[in-house]
Structure 1
C-alpha cells in the first residue's frame, strides 16, 4: 500500500482499511501515516533520519521520530515492536566495500587500500549516534497553531452571552505567549471591524433575549461560515453584480473563485493551452516571431470580472489594510468547467492534469464549500442553487470522502448517538440519479455540450463524445446541414442554455429528453432528442446520453 498526504482521501482510507484487515504486508508512506489512524504495524523501517520540510532538508525532530516510530507494536495489537533506520547510501556502500576488501585480504594475505565514498554535497547525514539520540530524546514541546479567523470571530460574537468578553477570554487564557496574544487580539479587533463594515454584524444598544451585545444582521443559513480570509470582501462584492444579468450565477462563482487559493497546476495548464492556441492563430495570420512573442507575454489564464473586482479590492484594502497579506486572484476553474459543460474527467483530460487530480478535486471541494456556506440563502437564485448542487455532485462522484466527513460535521448525530463507522472498503459514491436537481443539471450540460460542438461545426469532437456506439461525424453533419441551410447558425448564449430549452419526460428506467436549438429568428423549431439511461448513469457516475434524433420538432 501507498499512503501520503497528497493522495485523495478515498485512496488513503482504502489503504488504512486493508491494513486493518491484515491484507497488506507492507505500507510505503510518509509520517502522515503516524497520525489519526488505527493501523496495527509491527515494524517501522525509516529509509532516512532526515526529511525535506518544504524549505530545507533537515534531521527528524524527536517528535517526528516518535510519531512514526511509535506506530510499531501498538498496545492492543502487539507486545512489542521494532524500529529500524537504514544507514545513508554512502555508508552502506562503504560497508560493502570494506567487507569485500577484507575477504580478499584474508584470501591472498594482501592489505588493500580502500577509498571510501563521501556523502553527496549538501547531504544531511546521520548515523548510529543520531538514532540513539532520537530514541532517548523526549518529544519537543508542541507549538500553538492558534489563528484568528473571520469564522472564529463571527461564531464567538454570535453565541449567547457576552461574545466580546468570551473572545477576550479565548485570546487571553490559552497557551500562547502574551506577545502572541496581543497580536491575536489586535487581529480579532480588525476582523470585527471588517465584519461590521461589511454589515454582517451590528452592535446592540441593549443585550437581546440571549444576552448578546452583537447581532448578525443578515439572514444567514445555519451553516453560514466565512472560512476564507477574503470572504467578507466576496460578500461585499456581491453588491457589484447585476442580479438580472443572465450570467449572474456565474458572476457569483467568479467572485468566490477570486478569493480562493490558486490551484497552480490548473492555472498553469490554462495558460499553456491559451498560449498554444494563440500561437497557432498568430501563425495563421502571418505575424512575425518577435511580434508573436510580444503578444504572448500578455496572455494568461482566464480572469473573469478582474476589471471590476481588482479596483473594488483596492478600495476595500484601504479600509482593511490587514487583507494585504491575502492577494485577490481572479480565475476561472469552476466557471470554465460549467461553460464548457465538462465534468471532472473532461477537465483533467482537456488540460492534461492526470498527475494533479488531487489538486483539482481539492480546489473544486473548497469552491463548493465556500459557495454553499458563504453566500447567504437570500442571495442564491435558482440558477446558482443548480450550479452549487451540480458542483457538489461532480466532487462526490469522483471521491465522496472529500465531502462526506464535512457533511457529517454539519449534521452531527443526536446527543448520545454514535456516528456510523464504515466496516467495508466500499467507497462507491451515492447513485448520481439520487440527487435529482444535480442530475438534471448534468443532463442539461451533456445536451448543451453537443449544441456547442454543433454550433462550431466540430463534427469530429461530436463523434468522439458519443463513442463507438454513437453517431459518427457524417451522421451529425447530414442531420444538421438542413438546419444550417435554413437558419444559418445555432445560438449558444445564456438564453440558449436556459432550463426552458430542455424538455424532460421521466420514466422509471430512463429519461426522454429534447434539447431545443436556439435559432436567430427565435422559431425554436429544431431540436436534439435523446435518451438518458438511469441505470447506466448510476454506474458511470454521470449522465449517459444516447442521441436518438436531430431534426424539426413535431
Structure 2
C-alpha cells in the first residue's frame, strides 16, 4: 500500500496531519518535535523554512508536504542541486506515491512530466518559473539543500522560483541556513501566506568535538581502539584523499574474518581501471576512498561496504555533504583551510557544519564525533617538546619547525570558533540572461512590467540591481536589433498617445526552451556546413556536437599539458632556445577541430539567435581524440594521467553519447557515425553502465526498482552482445597497433602483446622488415577504413580471426597484422581481447 492510499477524503489540516502521522507510526517511526511542528505548518498551508541538523528527518517532512499538496489537488515540485539526488528522490517517491503520480525533469531527461509530483533540478524549476510565472501549474515547491541559494554560479536558480511563483507554498530545507529572517518576511509578502521558521539545534545523535596534536596515524589508531569507527577523513583535494588511503595501508584495520567478509561482499565485482585496481587493495584492507572524480560504480561499492559496517576508514573530500549515502561515526578534519579556486582560506562556518554534521548515524549511533588535526608543523613541534620533557633547558634548545611558506594559519581557536559559529547568511546570486528576457517576453501580458518587477524586486542590493538593469537593457536592444523581438502599439491605440508599447517575439520558442542543451539548435545549423563526402565527415559531426558541450576542465588541461610537453621535447631536439620555447608554448593548447569554421558559423548564428550568447561555443576533442587514437578508456586515462579523475572522464563520455544520439537527426547519421555512437555507448557501459542504464530506465520506471537497476548495473552485459559496437572495438584495437607501429613505439607494442608472445624484440624485428621496404606507414582515414580490415567469425571456436592490412605508400597492401579475438575473454574483461599471431607480408 502506497502513501497515496492514505489520503483523507478532504484536505482538512487536522485530517491530513492525522493520516500522515498514522502512516509514519505504522512504520515504527516516531516524529521529532521539529518534524511535528513543520508538518503542522505545512498542512495548514503556511510556508516553512526548516533548519534542522543533518539526520533529523527533513526528507520525511518533504514527503508530508507532497502528501498535503496531493490532497489539495495541487502540483508539487521537489528540487535538489544535483541530478543524482533528484533521481534518487524520484525513485523514492515512486515507492511512496506510485509511479503514475511521480515525474522527473532534469534537463536531459523527462519522465511523466504531467504527474502531480515532479522531481527536478533547481535550474529546471527556474526555467518554468520564468516562462509561466504566476500562471504556472505549481501549487507547492519543496527546495532541498536550500543553502545552494548562495552558490556563485547556480544560486540564481534557487532565487527565481521565490520571485516568480507567488501562488506556491514553499518549503525550504537545509541543515546550514543561518539567519533566514529576510526570507521569512519576503516569502510572506510575496505569497500572502504566513511563513514559519522551524529550527532545532538538537541533533538526534549529539556530537562531541576534539582537537588533536598527535600524528594522524596515532589519532586514527586511538579512534579505532575506542570504537569510534567508521571514520571519514576529510581532505581538500582528491589526490590527498588517495595518497592518504595508500599511506594507511600499513595500519591493520580489520581482522581476518572481516577481510573475508569484505571479499565475499565484493564477489565478482570488476575493477576495470588503474584506479580501480588500487581501490581493490584499499577496500580489502578496510579502507575506502570516496570523491567526485571516481567512477559511480566504485563510489557505490564503497557506500555498500560502509553500510555493511565493513570499512573502518574512508578517505574522501569535503564534497561529502550532498546526496551521499556513507554512514560514519567520526569526521576527522585534516585541515581547517581550503583552496577555493582563487586562494587558500579558512573554512566558512557553513562548510564546516555541513561536513561535521555527517558524523553520527541516527538509528545506529548514540553519539557522533568530530576531530580536527592540528597543522603538521605544530604536531612535530609538540612531539619534539614532549621528547624534551619538563627540563626548561632542553625545551629551549628545541628548534621549532616553521609553517610552510604561504601557509594560512589555523589552530584550536579556529576550531572552537567554527563550532560556535552559526552558518553565514545566504548571499543573493541573481543574474540576467538572454533566456530570462525571452521567457518573460513570451508570457502573456505586459512584459515590460514583468521584467521591471523581476529586476527591481529581487534579493540583490540596489547597487547590483542597477547593474542588472543595464545588462537587461543591453540584451533587450540586441534582441530588438536581431529582429527576435518587436515593439507594437497596444491594441486600440496608434502608438502616439504615450501608451507603453507591447513587445512580442517574432520567433517561436520550443516548450522546453533553455531546458535542453542550449546550443543544440546551433549544432543542427552547423551540420549543413560539413561535406558528407569527406572521409572525416562522421568525426566532424562529433566535433560540432562536442563544441556545444560543457568543458571538462580536467581533461582539457591534461590534453594541453601533454601537447605542451611534446612540443617542448621537439623544440629541445631542434635546438630552440629557452625564451623562444616559452613564447611558442603560449600558442599551444588542447586540440580544437573545426575551430575557425565553428566560430565563424557561431558568429553568424548569434546575430539571428542572440540568446546563444549566454552559452559560449567551445571547440574541443575528447571523443574524437580517443577515437582517432583508437584508445580504450583505460588507455586514454593513462595516456593523459587522468586515473584520479576517471569519473569525470566517464561522465563527459556518457553526456556526449546522449548528445550525439539525440542531437543528430537520424537522416544525417552515416554508417561511420552510427559506428562511433555504438562504440562510445558500449565503451561507457563496459566501464560503468549505471550512467546510461539509469538514463534509459527513466522512460520505464515501473519495470524495476532503483535497487534492482543498481544491481543490474553491477552485472555488465557481455561486450560481444552488441555486434556492431564490438566490431568497432576490434577495429580500434587493431588500428591502435598500426598507430604505434607507425610511430615505431615497439616497446608499447611489446607491452600490449606480451601475452601473445610478441614482445618488444619480436615487434622490432617484424617492423624492421617493413621499414626496409617502405619509408612511411599511413594512419589517416584510408588506413583505418573497413577496406583494410578483414574479419572472419568463428563462433564454434569462440574466436574471430582478423587481418589488419598496412596502408603503405605504394598501395601494395601486402603487409599487415594477423590476430585472433578471444570472445570469451573479451566478455570477461569488457574489451576486445586481441592476440597477435603474425606481423609481416601475406
TM-score, normalised with respect to structure 2: 0.50
Q: CA deviation at 1:74?
A: 2.5
**CA 1:37–1:307 in 2, change beyond 3 Å: closer, same or farther?**
closer
In structure 2, the partner of 1:81 is 368
**CA 1:127–1:252 in 2, change beyond 3 Å: closer, same or farther?**
same
Alpha-carbon contact 2:685-2:692 (below 8 Å) kept:
yes
**CA 1:118–1:435 in 2, change beyond 3 Å: closer, same or farther?**
same
CA RMSD of aligned residues (A): 5.2
Q: CA deviation at 1:94?
A: 7.5
In structure 1, the partner of 2:327 is 40
How is 1:125-524 mapped onto 2 (pairs within 5 angstroms)? 125-126=409-410, 130-142=414-426, 164=443, 177=459, 179=465, 226-227=516-517, 230-259=519-548, 260-261=550-551, 262=553, 263-277=556-570, 279-280=572-573, 282=574, 299-316=588-605, 328-354=617-643, 357-409=646-698, 411-414=699-702, 418-421=705-708, 427=714, 429-453=716-740, 462-471=749-758, 492-506=779-793, 507=795, 509-516=798-805
Alpha-carbon contact 1:496-1:517 (below 8 Å) kept:
yes
Q: CA deviation at 1:326?
A: 5.7
Cα separation, 2, equivalents of 1:97 and 1:479: 63
Alpha-carbon contact 1:3-1:27 (below 8 Å) kept:
yes
Q: CA deviation at 1:443?
A: 0.7
How is 1:2-17 mapped onto 2 (pairs within 5 angstroms)? 2-17=289-304
Of 308, 321, 330 in structure 2, the residue corresponding to residue 21 of structure 1 is: 308
In structure 2, the partner of 1:542 is 831
SS in 2 for 1:420: helix
SS in 1 for 2:680: helix
**CA 1:225–1:327 in 2, change beyond 3 Å: closer, same or farther?**
closer
**CA 1:184–1:293 in 2, change beyond 3 Å: closer, same or farther?**
closer
**CA 1:495–1:23 in 2, change beyond 3 Å: closer, same or farther?**
same
Alpha-carbon contact 1:194-1:320 (below 8 Å) kept:
no
Q: Using the TM superposition, name which of 389-398 and 96-105 deviates more.
A: 96-105
Q: Using the TM superposition, name which of 400-409 and 253-262 deviates more.
A: 400-409
**CA 1:298–1:124 in 2, change beyond 3 Å: closer, same or farther?**
closer
Cα separation, 1, equivalents of 2:470 and 2:702: 38
Alpha-carbon contact 1:490-1:517 (below 8 Å) kept:
yes
Q: CA deviation at 1:322?
A: 6.4
**CA 1:436–1:118 in 2, change beyond 3 Å: closer, same or farther?**
same
**CA 1:307–1:86 in 2, change beyond 3 Å: closer, same or farther?**
closer
Q: CA deviation at 1:495?
A: 3.7
Q: CA deviation at 1:534?
A: 0.9
Cα separation, 1, equivalents of 2:382 and 2:775: 80
The one-character-per-residue Cα deviations of 1:227-266 (angstroms, maximum 9, x if unpaired) are 36x5444333222211221110111222233344142112
Cα separation, 2, equivalents of 1:40 and 1:150: 43
**CA 1:114–1:527 in 2, change beyond 3 Å: closer, same or farther?**
closer
In structure 1, the partner of 2:79 is none
The one-character-per-residue Cα deviations of 1:387-421 (angstroms, maximum 9, x if unpaired) are 12212333333344454444445x35139x63235
Cα separation, 1, equivalents of 2:790 and 2:291: 46
**CA 1:40–1:471 in 2, change beyond 3 Å: closer, same or farther?**
closer
The one-character-per-residue Cα deviations of 1:461-520 (angstroms, maximum 9, x if unpaired) are 544442242445776688789989999976544244333443433315222334455567
Cα separation, 2, equivalents of 1:522 and 1:512: 23
Q: CA deviation at 1:355?
A: 5.1
Alpha-carbon contact 1:265-1:356 (below 8 Å) kept:
no
Cα separation, 2, equivalents of 1:351 and 1:13: 25
Q: CA deviation at 1:302?
A: 3.5
**CA 1:69–1:499 in 2, change beyond 3 Å: closer, same or farther?**
same
Matched length: 519
SS in 2 for 1:342: coil
Cα separation, 2, equivalents of 1:99 and 1:270: 51
Alpha-carbon contact 2:814-2:841 (below 8 Å) kept:
yes
**CA 1:302–1:37 in 2, change beyond 3 Å: closer, same or farther?**
closer
Cα separation, 1, equivalents of 2:377 and 2:814: 77
Cα separation, 2, equivalents of 1:111 and 1:401: 59
Alpha-carbon contact 1:479-1:551 (below 8 Å) kept:
yes
TM-score, normalised with respect to structure 1: 0.72
Cα separation, 1, equivalents of 2:362 and 2:475: 43
Alpha-carbon contact 2:331-2:371 (below 8 Å) kept:
yes
**CA 1:149–1:237 in 2, change beyond 3 Å: closer, same or farther?**
farther
Q: CA deviation at 1:271?
A: 2.6
Q: CA deviation at 1:543?
A: 0.8
In structure 1, the partner of 2:25 is none
The one-character-per-residue Cα deviations of 1:424-466 (angstroms, maximum 9, x if unpaired) are 7994644322332221101111223344455676666544442
Cα separation, 1, equivalents of 2:753 and 2:545: 34
**CA 1:78–1:516 in 2, change beyond 3 Å: closer, same or farther?**
same
Alpha-carbon contact 1:368-1:392 (below 8 Å) kept:
yes
Q: Using the TM superposition, name which of 249-258 and 488-497 deviates more.
A: 488-497
**CA 1:133–1:352 in 2, change beyond 3 Å: closer, same or farther?**
closer
Cα separation, 1, equivalents of 2:322 and 2:689: 22
Q: CA deviation at 1:312?
A: 3.1
